A and B are shown apart, each in its own frame.
Chain A
Amino acid sequence: MENIDSMLSLDWDIPKKPYPAKAITLPTGSKMVVREISREEVPFLLDAIRPLLTISADYYDIVSARMYAELLGWYRYRVRNEYCLVGIVDGELAGIVNNRLYDSKTCISYHTMALKRGGRVGAHLFAAKQEHAIENLGVDQILVTAESPIGFNRWMVEWNLEPRQGMQHELGGANAYALTKEGYYLRKSKLVFGERPVPQALLEEALHFKVVAPDMVKDART
Chain B
Amino acid sequence: MPREVAIVGCGMAQFGNRTDKSLMDLLKEASTKAMEHTGLGETNVSALYVSTMLAGELTNQTAIASALADELCLVPAAADRIENGPASGGSAVKNAYLAIAAGLFDIVLVVGGEKMRQVPGDRITDLLATMTHPTAEYIHGVTLPSLAAMFTRLYMNKYGVERKHLSMIAVKNHENGLKNPYAHIHRKITLEGIYSSPEAEVNNPVIADPLRLFDMCPISDGAAAVVLCSADIAKRFADKPITVAGVGQATDIHAVSQRPDPTTLNAVKISSQQAFKMAKLEPKNMDVVELHDAFTILEIAESEDAGFFEKGTAHKAVEAGVTSLGGKLPINPSGGLKARGHPVGATGIAQVAELTWQLRGEAGERQVKDAKKAFCCNFGGFGNNVVSFVLKRED
Chain A residues engaging chain B, CB cutoff 8 angstroms: 24-30, 57, 118-120, 123-124, 127, 149, 158, 190-191, 193-194, 219
**What is the CA–CA distance of A24 and B199 in the complex, to the nearest angstrom?**
7
**What is the CA–CA distance of A149 and B123 in the complex, to the nearest angstrom?**
13
A-B contact pairs, 14 of them (CB 8 A): A25-B192, A25-B193, A26-B203, A27-B200, A28-B190, A29-B189, A29-B193, A119-B187, A119-B203, A120-B202, A123-B202, A124-B199, A127-B202, A193-B201
**What is the CA–CA distance of A136 and B203 in the complex, to the nearest angstrom?**
24
Residue interface bits B198-210, CB-to-A below 8 A is 1, else 0? 1111111100000
Chain B residues engaging chain A, CB cutoff 8 angstroms: 17, 19, 120, 187-190, 192-194, 197-205, 214
> Residues of A contacting B203 with CB < 8 Å?
25-27, 119-120
Which residue of B has the minimal Cβ distance to A123?
B202
B163: min CB distance to chain A, Å: 15
> Residues of A contacting B214 with CB < 8 Å?
27
Whether the pair B201, A27 counts as a contact (CB closer than 8 A) is no
Which residue of A has the minimal Cβ distance to B198?
A193
**Nearest 7 A-B pairs (CB), nearest first?**
A29-B190, A27-B193, A25-B197, A27-B203, A193-B199, A25-B199, A29-B193
A26: contacting residue among B17, B120, B193, B201, CB under 8 A: B193
**What is the CA–CA distance of A219 and B18 in the complex, to the nearest angstrom?**
10
- The B interface is mostly helix, strand or loop, or mixed, namely loop
Whether the pair A191, B187 counts as a contact (CB closer than 8 A) is no
Which residue of B has the minimal Cβ distance to A154?
B205
Which residue of B has the minimal Cβ distance to A23?
B199
Which residue of B has the minimal Cβ distance to A149?
B120
A28: contacting residue among B17, B188, B201, B205, CB under 8 A: B188
B219: min CB distance to chain A, Å: 13
> Residues of A contacting B190 with CB < 8 Å?
27-29
Which residue of B has the minimal Cβ distance to A193?
B199
> Residues of B contacting A30 with CB < 8 Å?
193
A10: min CB distance to chain B, Å: 39
Task: Beyond the given A27-B187, A57-B19, A219-B17, please list 20 additional residue pairs across the A-B interface where CB-CB is below 8 A.
Answer: A24-B199, A26-B193, A26-B203, A27-B193, A27-B194, A27-B203, A28-B188, A28-B193, A29-B188, A29-B190, A29-B192, A30-B193, A119-B187, A119-B203, A120-B202, A120-B203, A124-B202, A158-B205, A193-B199, A193-B201
Given A27-B214, A28-B187, the answer on whether A190 and B201 have CB atoms closer than 8 Å is yes
> Residues of B contacting A118 with CB < 8 Å?
187
**What is the CA–CA distance of A38 and B189 in the complex, to the nearest angstrom?**
32
> Residues of A contacting B192 with CB < 8 Å?
25, 29
Which residue of A has the minimal Cβ distance to B122?
A149
**What is the CA–CA distance of A191 and B200 in the complex, to the nearest angstrom?**
10
